Copies of this chain bind each other. A is one copy, B any other.
């Protein structure tokens, strides 16, 4: 099977340990993560051949980000070195009624200042059959919009499937900017990954009667959103994650896959959350894996939701689970018994 290429920003993630608030003591967990990198690592853990494309500074922090990706068997040979700094995000984990807090310090990062000439997409896409990006990458600046479109054009030319996770970040751009750029990008895409908020924020597509803060979800609404997205962009698949936030410690989590005709809902999991960052990315990875491996639609969404349910039990951005672990859960054993 062909290689998967993902493109975006990998950041240094700095997080107080446990449930400490920022700077409550003098230690921080220093790891790496970021939407597209999370997808890459997840897919590599599933045994896929994955290349991660980004630009990183030529210093020991850039080296460490690459070492981390290499340790997961992600191909880093197309990472461009240069620029001034790695993007950073500070994460304070929430609990109970107190939500997690993210502070981004990513302006001026190497990837944010990258130019089209940094990436030779013909070379990068050699042997590839899938390309994944998210809405975070074009949000980094007009140069990134151009680079993303460049990549998509090359992908299409090479018969590479494209998946796009809408992932709207309001601190990075306005809804109008997002709509313009994502409209261009989605035209190339085969698979759209979203949650209800993203579809609304980016394209103004929403269903009636669902309030993401209410703790209730409405199946018809999700189908309506998926169908409107499909109409607009002619996607092969639209998939939507369904998160019900009871508190920062407990979520309900499910997903839906829409193939243009039918919708497939997964079971819903009651999650006791260890770390919810990267939950959506692990879903995207699970879905890409399922589609690449020709799982039927129900199995695909079940696999993606099980994979991402497991992610919520794992510290850090990356989903450190294997296919067999996901399949064990997807097949119904969520009892968490000891594996001796």
Contacts and interface: CB of A to CB of B under 8 A. Distances in A.
Nearest to A329: B97
A71 B316 CA distance: 18
A21 B269 CA distance: 21
Of A59, A170, A321, most B-chain CB atoms within 10 Å: A59
A74 to B, nearest CB: 10
A272 interface: yes
Contacts of A273: 96
A271 B336 contact: no
Given A85-B105, A102-B340, A339-B101, A30 B21 contact: no
B31 A26 contact: yes
A12 to B, nearest CB: 9
A170 B96 CA distance: 31
Contact of A14 (B30, B277, B309, B336): B30
Contacts of A339: 99-102
A76 to B, nearest CB: 9
A139 B207 CA distance: 55
Nearest to A28: B30
A96 B19 contact: no
Contact of A101 (B26, B60, B90, B248): B60
Given A22-B60, A274-B19, A336 B96 contact: yes
Contact of A20 (B73, B247, B315): B315
Interface stretch (A1-9, A61-69, A118-126, A140-148): A61-69
Integer count of this chain's copies in the complex: 6
B99 A338 contact: yes
A67 B60 contact: no
Contacts of A28: 14, 27-30
B61 A22 contact: yes
B320 A102 contact: no
A95 B333 CA distance: 13
Nearest to A316: B24
B314 A98 contact: yes
A277 B96 contact: no
Interface string A167-184: 001110000000000000
Contacts of A337: 99-100, 213, 245, 248
Given A313-B248, A333-B213, A30 B19 contact: no
B96 A24 contact: no
A98 B23 contact: no
Given A103-B61, A246-B335, A313 B19 contact: yes
A207 to B, nearest CB: 19
A316 B59 CA distance: 22
Nearest to A246: B335
Given A68-B71, A71-B71, 4 more contacts: A28-B28, A98-B329, A100-B338, A245-B335
- Closest 5 pairs between A and B when the two form their complex, measured CB to CB: A248-B336, A23-B64, A245-B335, A71-B71, A98-B313
12 contacts: A24-B26, A24-B315, A67-B71, A96-B273, A96-B309, A96-B336, A98-B329, A100-B336, A108-B108, A247-B272, A248-B313, A249-B272
